[in-house]
A and B are shown apart, each in its own frame.
Chain A
Amino acid sequence: MSADVLTRPEARTRSESPKRRRGRRNVNVPGGVAAVIWLLIVVVPIYFIVVTSVRSQEAYVADGPLDLPTSPTLTNYQHVIDLGFGTFLVNSLIVAAGTVVLVLVLALPTAYAIVRGQSRWVRMAFTLFLTGLAIPAQAVIIPIFLLITRLHLYDSLTAIILPTAAFSLPMAVLVLTSALRDVPGELYEAMTVDGAGQALIFRRLVLPLSRPALASIGIFSGLNAWNGILFPLVLTQSSEQRVLPLGLWNFQSQYGTDVPGLLAAVVLSALPVLALYLFGRRQLLSGLSAGFGK
């Protein structure tokens, strides 16, 4: 494959004359080819999920996997809701919300101290979070299990929220720190000269100015919590505390042959994120790539 093409994306040609732009339209052949192939690879499974979720059990066995459903039905959705997916959904929402609140409340003051503080301890805290980026959660799951059982939190949603929030913190602190660094120092100094204390500066200056970064961090840590499997798997047990990913897995192990039911549950579990995507696409995408916007 020739790299002939990978050249410049058209976006940059906006400043050029229309004539030139016409000249270079659609030149990125390998990129285009890769994009079309990948498009098919993405679309086929998504199509499979949606059509199978509205197929009856009998039709799933009889029809081909990609046939259009002859008599679409919503019974699969009814079935999985009856099996408790409503509870799992609520549990996942609680875990995600708890994680987001904890991360935001802890990370913003830290970022403020790192950007404006001068003490050695603050610099050490920053090093701590930078180091934390490299620690894989899998590697410390055994001591976390030990901690959670010793705290008598085993099999509770709190048990999931605490470590999930902790492992979102390093990225959150890093992103907020780089956002606050963009705030000119004069703004802080002006407020100090006017006699404002740290608390007032934090409320009137830091909080409003970091709102976009807070949204990104919120989405980033919320999705982390929403998608997490490891902590719920190891730290909870009962079906009352079950979150969506484990609900899906459990459904598959118990009713392995009910693929339409499983895929209906998959669609249900994606709906909250889909809603987020439809109403805040920009925020969602920036949250996903938190820390790499720069």
Chain B
Amino acid sequence: MRERPGFVWAAPAAVFFAAFGIVPIAIVVYLSFTTWNGLGTPQWIGADNWSALLKDHDFPPSVRTTFFLTVGSWLVQTPLALLIGVWSAGNQRFRAVLSTIFFLPLLLSTAAIALVFVSLLDPNFGLAALWGKYLGTPDGNFLGDPTRALPTVVFVVAWQFVPFHTLLYQAATRQIPAMLYEASELDGAGRVRQFFSITLPQLRNTIIASSVMMLVGSVTVFESVLLLTNGGPGNDTKVLPLHMYQEGFIAFDMGYASVLAVLLVIVGTVLSVIVVRSTGYHRMTSDREGL
């Protein structure tokens, strides 16, 4: 009898995941060298799709839009989630009620949230018409205005995801051992000092995990943009994944869309490898060492 479980136990899942997660990467690289309209058989055309990338006027703006959406999302969501997460880990009055309300957006799907905000930001009947003047937008046109559309998308994405990241920070803050604070108090550390010397370092792994999810999630954010603006006005909110989707499944140029998909794989992987490696998260070290 074998003492240890063999590969047999892992094989079904590994084969299944390879079929839908790994093999497709090889296929998408192959498809980027073909012409294919979604029906019939892909035809090999060499590097034509790749040279088309240089002439695609929508490509550089879509990279720029993706970059601003990613950086904007991180800058908005991380401080908010950290602040509210640390705050809500305490035991002030009404905390249970407040937490319940905070997490309500988690009950709504991406589609529901995007469509609710389309209604809410309707310049004629929505709240935008009513409150727009207080936000420097008297015409209430948030999603249809070239300068306001992208920040509005960042806001809606934040509305959806801040509760989730708050949840991560709240849980992590509660696990910080009280004795760290007691010890620092004996040493005369003030509250600012405690936050920066204890709370932040203790939340390090959570900040990394949350940021990786946020960055990779923002680079590939697609559904929200599709439903909120469909890339408009003009192409002002057209992010890279949306560009790929439109080339592939609207224009049926699967070959060129595959080029964009390969770039997405590279960006996504490089981004998470850089963040994970540079922070040592993959070693899953404990932040309780020495306690």
Contact B264 A262 (CB under 8 A): no
Secondary structure call for the A interface: helix
Return the chain A residue nearest B103 by Cβ.
Answer: A285
* A44–B88 CA distance with the chains assembled, in angstroms: 20
Contact B117 A10 (CB under 8 A): no
Q: Contact check: which of A52, A132, A139, A293 meets B17 at CB < 8 Å?
A: A132
User: Does A12 sit at the interface, judged by CB under 8 A?
Assistant: yes
A3-B192, A26-B92, A249-B227 are contacts. A229–B111 as well, Cβ < 8 Å?
yes
Contact B87 A227 (CB under 8 A): no
Return the chain A residue nearest B213 by Cβ.
Answer: A292
* A52–B172 CA distance with the chains assembled, in angstroms: 37
Contact residues in A for B103 (Cβ distance below 8 Å): 277, 285
Q: Contact check: which of A136, A162, A197, A269 meets B268 at CB < 8 Å?
A: A136
Contact A6 B14 (CB under 8 A): no
User: Does A77 sit at the interface, judged by CB under 8 A?
Assistant: no
A9-B86, A9-B174, A139-B261 are contacts. A122–B104 as well, Cβ < 8 Å?
no
**Binary flags per residue of A127-139, CB closer than 8 Å to B gives 1, else 0:** 0111111111111
A6-B86, A133-B272, A245-B109 are contacts. A144–B127 as well, Cβ < 8 Å?
no
Q: Contact check: which of B9, B23, B195, B210 meets A112 at CB < 8 Å?
A: B9
Contact A136 B216 (CB under 8 A): yes
Return the chain A residue nearest B39 by Cβ.
Answer: A149
Question: Of residues 15 to 33 in A, which have CB atoms within 8 Å of B's CB atoms?
Answer: 15-16, 25-28, 30-32
Secondary structure call for the B interface: helix
* A129–B17 CA distance with the chains assembled, in angstroms: 8
Q: Of residues A2, A248, A252, A292, which shows the largest number of chain B Cβ atoms within 10 Å of its Cβ?
A: A292
Contact B5 A66 (CB under 8 A): no
Contact residues in A for B89 (Cβ distance below 8 Å): 9, 11
* A273–B27 CA distance with the chains assembled, in angstroms: 36
Contact B28 A142 (CB under 8 A): yes
* A269–B115 CA distance with the chains assembled, in angstroms: 13
Contact A113 B261 (CB under 8 A): no
Which of B44-52, B55-63, B145-153, B175-183 interfaces with chain A?
Answer: B175-183
Q: Contact check: which of A4, A6, A132 meets B83 at CB < 8 Å?
A: A6
Q: Contact check: which of A31, A35, A140 meets B25 at CB < 8 Å?
A: A140
User: Does B21 sit at the interface, judged by CB under 8 A?
Assistant: yes
The number of chain A residues touching the other chain, given as a range, is: 35 or more
Contact A292 B209 (CB under 8 A): yes
The A/B interface has a contact count, at CB < 8 Å, of 338
User: Does A107 sit at the interface, judged by CB under 8 A?
Assistant: yes
Contact residues in B for A6 (Cβ distance below 8 Å): 83, 86-87, 191-192, 195, 199
User: Does B112 sit at the interface, judged by CB under 8 A?
Assistant: yes
User: Does A90 sit at the interface, judged by CB under 8 A?
Assistant: no
Contact A173 B13 (CB under 8 A): yes
Question: Of residues 120 to 178 in A, which have CB atoms within 8 Å of B's CB atoms?
Answer: 121-122, 125, 128-147, 162-163, 165-167, 169-170, 173, 178
Min CB gap B244→A, angstroms: 7
The number of chain B residues touching the other chain, given as a range, is: 35 or more
Contact A249 B115 (CB under 8 A): yes
Contact residues in B for A266 (Cβ distance below 8 Å): 108, 112, 115-116
User: Does B126 sit at the interface, judged by CB under 8 A?
Assistant: yes
**Binary flags per residue of B74-116, CB closer than 8 Å to A gives 1, else 0:** 0000001001101111111000001001111111111110011
Contact residues in A for B231 (Cβ distance below 8 Å): none
A42-B159, A66-B130, A169-B17 are contacts. A138–B241 as well, Cβ < 8 Å?
yes
Contact B7 A288 (CB under 8 A): no
Min CB gap B94→A, angstroms: 10
Return the chain A residue nearest B42 by Cβ.
Answer: A146
Contact residues in A for B143 (Cβ distance below 8 Å): none
Contact residues in A for B258 (Cβ distance below 8 Å): 142
**Binary flags per residue of A45-80, CB closer than 8 Å to B gives 1, else 0:** 110110010000000110011100000000000000
Contact A134 B272 (CB under 8 A): yes
Min CB gap A181→B, angstroms: 10
Contact residues in A for B104 (Cβ distance below 8 Å): 42, 46
Contact residues in A for B191 (Cβ distance below 8 Å): 4-8, 27
Question: Of residues 197 to 250 in B, which have CB atoms within 8 Å of A's CB atoms?
Answer: 198-199, 206, 209-210, 216, 219-220, 222-223, 226-227, 241, 244-245, 248-249
Return the chain B residue nearest A274 by Cβ.
Answer: B107
Contact B195 A31 (CB under 8 A): no
Min CB gap A140→B, angstroms: 4
User: Does B31 sit at the interface, judged by CB under 8 A?
Assistant: yes
Return the chain A residue nearest B112 by Cβ.
Answer: A266
Q: Contact check: which of B13, B24, B110 meets A144 at CB < 8 Å?
A: B24
* A136–B219 CA distance with the chains assembled, in angstroms: 9
Contact residues in A for B154 (Cβ distance below 8 Å): none
* A263–B115 CA distance with the chains assembled, in angstroms: 9
Contact residues in A for B7 (Cβ distance below 8 Å): 113, 117, 119, 121-122, 125
The 7 closest A-B pairs by CB, nearest first: A31-B87, A245-B111, A7-B191, A166-B20, A143-B24, A113-B9, A10-B90
A-B contact pairs, 10 of them (CB 8 A): A6-B86, A6-B191, A35-B88, A42-B101, A109-B9, A134-B216, A139-B264, A143-B25, A244-B111, A248-B112
Contacts beyond the supplied A12-B178, A42-B101: 6 A-B pairs with Cβ under 8 Å:
A43-B101, A113-B10, A117-B10, A119-B7, A135-B268, A263-B116
